[in-house]
A and B are shown apart, each in its own frame.
Chain A
Amino acid sequence: AQSVTQPDIHITVSEGASLELRCNYSYGATPYLFWYVQSPGQGLQLLLKYFSGDTLVQGIKGFEAEFKRSQSSFNLRKPSVHWSDAAEYFCAVGPGKAAGNKLTFGGGTRVLVKP
């Protein structure tokens, strides 16, 4: 069975500092990996996704993520955080077009941005 672990429940970062959110997954086949962001009271918005090719993936809002198969990780990074990045972030893994494209989500990491 597939699973996703986000080890950090909360992260506090100063505005302008760098941010890295950790994601570890367990999946038997080639994983399709996603990062979503959820602002307070909102639905989820896709930041970026990986399914093949270059292991460094660029997303929206200045985010990037790196797929490391040997470490079963897909960490999300941003070089300089803005106050508007305060939100909850979810990593997810899915089988792609097979099995109804069901996604398994991590528990989420809530990011607080200090001025």
Chain B
Amino acid sequence: NAGVTQTPKFQVLKTGQSMTLQCAQDMNHNSMYWYRQDPGMGLRLIYYSASEGTTDKGEVPNGYNVSRLNKREFSLRLESAAPSQTSVYFCASPNIPGLAEGTDTQYFGPGTRLTVL
């Protein structure tokens, strides 16, 4: 049981290049999230997927696209990378313990450190 996995761990791109960040979870969770982490700004939500087949924009979606390929996998694509997208990207998946509690614990992947030159 690996939890949430992300690939790659590190990536360097040139401006204008494209790439896809991969995320997979083996916890059978419905929801998955992509965040970016920048110094002093905490984590900001890029996109999320509440269930297989659905995706929604978060706080900072511009420049990104996502695909919820199946229940396990949620990918983040940068079509034309820009230096402003240099960041650490985290995928997360919450475990909703039950309707009675109505809250969740989000499990985070180890992150992808992306540099755009």
Chain A contacts to B: CB under 8 angstroms: 4, 6, 9, 32, 34, 36, 42-46, 49, 51, 90, 92, 94, 96-98, 100-103, 105-108
Contact = CB atoms under 8 A, between A and B. Distances in A.
A95 to B, nearest CB: 9
Contacts of A44: 43, 90, 92, 106, 108
Contacts of A43: 4, 90, 108-111
Q: Which size class do B's interface residues fall under?
A: 20 to 34
A107 B40 CA distance: 5
A-B pairs, top 9 by smallest CB distance, nearest first, are: A105-B42, A43-B108, A44-B108, A97-B102, A105-B43, A51-B103, A96-B103, A96-B102, A32-B103
B74 interface: no
A92 to B, nearest CB: 8
A101 B104 contact: yes
A97 B45 CA distance: 16
A103 to B, nearest CB: 6
Contact of A97 (B4, B90, B104): B104
A43 to B, nearest CB: 4
A90 B8 CA distance: 24
Interface in B11-67: 31, 33, 35, 40-45, 48, 50, 56, 58
